[in-house]
Amino acid sequence: MRHAPSTSGRTRGKAESGAVLIQVAVALLALLALTSYVFDYGVMWVSKGQAQTAADAGALSGAISLAFNSATDQDAARARAIAVGQRNRVWGQAPVIAPGDVTFPPCPPGAPGLPDTCVKVDVFRNQTRLNPLPTFMGRLAGVNSQGVRATATAQIVTGDTTDCLRPWAVLDKWAESAQNPADGVGPDPGPISTYGRYPTNPTGGGPNSIPVEPTDSYVRPGLPGATGFTLPGDEGRRFAIKVGASGGNEVSSGWFRTIDLPRADTTQLGNNTVQTNIMSCSGMPSSFAGPNTVCPNDIPNNWADTAYWAERGCYRVQTGATVGSTRNTVQDLMALDGNARWVDGQGIVGSTFDPPNRSPRVVPIGVMDIDDYLSRNPTGQNGVLRMVNIYGFFIEGPGDVDRNTGAITFPAANGQAIIGRILTIPSMSLGSSTLPNNASFLRQIMLVR
């Protein structure tokens, strides 16, 4: 008897084939989901990093504006933070940074810088700000967009060291006595520009005779009752550095001493190096002295010793620098940013440098401890001075100072003084001194969150 052919094998094959198709379909869905996760999630993470870069840049720029342009102009700092932050694209588009996204909160606990000098920036590229990131594979699952946000906080930190100090040490602001040092009778009719504490002519008459008490007094920064320039009140104050014979040994406003600064590109010292140090940064660390620093009575005239003591705030007074070469070198320095000028209420305008505080005409100048210097030799001819602060100085140009009233004349083509404005200025390292915040003009900006 013949039997009909069996169909169980073919049925089993078809069933197995159908099962494989189901498994393949499930696997494809899983692969699509994985692809969506990898690709779209990758877009999000790349964008997250770009958004963080935008937030960091915005916060740093806002803090820079507060530190070096105006400590009180939050509107300018906010505008700067938004403009710089939005220059950093997030997946090909500018992120959203609204005015309310730039705030000035209390600084985080433990942050090392000045209190209440933080700038916080929030950056968005998401659905709520109507600029979401795209999805690609996620659209297969109905996910059509995604978003990121980032935040950063920058803080102003004080410093005590620069590698760009100019070879000038000037007098700080002192407390003027109410009597005229010449006669000691009644209130003085006008400002007295001479420092009447260490007379160069103790027995004769005139402005250098022994003053009648009370004498002028100077208290260095960091001590109770300090008399020097402070922030924000003195930021932008016009100041003169005397370079001509009218200054001489007369200890008055604008009186200065030229100092030896070692350079990274030479081991030579002297007048030629002084002119080079006016024109450009020395590349070597120069600091002001800490409260416990005692300067030596003499610093040998060699590169190694001047470099060692400059980093500790003690400087050898340079001899032989000529007035003419100093004035000419300053004019050469001004030519590097010839259109820059100071406008009250606006600061530096017309500079080709952005921000303007980066102009080569904004230079660090040292502030000497005048009591320490003159107590060693009242004639002001001793060889070592102790630096107690460093100011930023925007050089406006040549001018003159009235030796009796201290009044500044600017401009003056053949003036015997360098006229400028006192400013904050970048530091090359964080400060280790004990200067109070309002007396520190060297600043750094750092991210704290």
Region 142-159: mean pLDDT is 91
161-165, 178-182, 242-246, 284-288 — which is least confidently predicted? Answer: 178-182
Q: State how beta strands 362-368 and 168-170 pair.
A: parallel
* Amino acid symbol at 247: G
Sequence-ordered list of residues with C-beta below 8 angstroms from that of 85, at least 6 positions apart, any chain: 54, 55, 57, 58, 61, 95, 97, 121, 123
In a domain, 191, yes or no: no
pLDDT band at 211 (very low <50, low <70, confident <90, very high): very low
In a domain, 68, yes or no: yes
- Whether 366 and 422 share a structural domain: yes
- Whether 104 and 75 share a structural domain: yes
Interatomic CA distance for residues 167 and 149, integer angstroms: 48
Instruction: Give per-residue pLDDT as tens, 258-277.
Output: 899 999 998 877 767 888 99
Domain range enclosing 36? 26-159
- Whether 154 and 168 share a structural domain: no
- Whether 282 and 404 share a structural domain: yes
- Whether 349 and 403 share a structural domain: yes
- Whether 125 and 237 share a structural domain: no
* pLDDT reading at 32 higher than 60: yes
In a domain, 99, yes or no: yes
In a domain, 154, yes or no: yes
Phi, psi (rounded to 5 degrees) for 420: -160, -170
Per-residue model confidence (pLDDT) at position 355: 80
| Helix (H/G/I), strand (E/B), else coil: 154 | strand
Q: State the total domains in the chain.
A: 2
Sequence-ordered list of residues with C-beta below 8 angstroms from that of 16, at least 6 positions apart, any chain: none
User: Which ranges of 122-263 does DSSP label H, i.e. alpha helix?
Assistant: none
- Indicate the DSSP class of residue 317: B
Instruction: Give per-residue pLDDT as tens, 403-426.
Output: 766 788 898 878 888 999 999 999
- Whether 335 and 318 share a structural domain: yes
Per-residue model confidence (pLDDT) at position 206: 46
Per-residue model confidence (pLDDT) at position 11: 54
Domain stops at, among 114, 133, 159 = 159
Per-residue model confidence (pLDDT) at position 187: 43
In a domain, 20, yes or no: no
| Helix (H/G/I), strand (E/B), else coil: 429 | strand
- Whether 235 and 367 share a structural domain: yes
- Whether 280 and 374 share a structural domain: yes
In a domain, 192, yes or no: no
Interatomic CA distance for residues 18 and 11, integer angstroms: 11
Element (H, E) at 241: strand 238-242
Domain stops at, among 117, 132, 159 = 159
In a domain, 284, yes or no: yes
Per-residue model confidence (pLDDT) at position 312: 94
C-beta separation of 43 from 35 below 8 A = no
In a domain, 190, yes or no: no
Domain stops at, among 129, 159, 189 = 159
| C-alpha Rg value of the chain to the nearest Å | 33
- Whether 125 and 169 share a structural domain: no
**Spatial CA neighbour of 146 closest among 42, 55, 53, 34:** 42
Region 369-388: mean pLDDT is 82
Interatomic CA distance for residues 208 and 250, integer angstroms: 8
- Whether 243 and 382 share a structural domain: yes
Measured from the Cβ of residue 334, the count of other Cβ atoms closer than 10 Å reads: 18
Range picked from 11-15, 291-295, 308-312, 357-361 for highest mean pLDDT = 308-312
* Amino acid symbol at 98: A
Structure tokens that stand for 42 in this block: 């990758």
Structure tokens that stand for 274 in this block: 């002084």
pTM over 0.85: no
- Whether 144 and 259 share a structural domain: no
| Helix (H/G/I), strand (E/B), else coil: 210 | coil
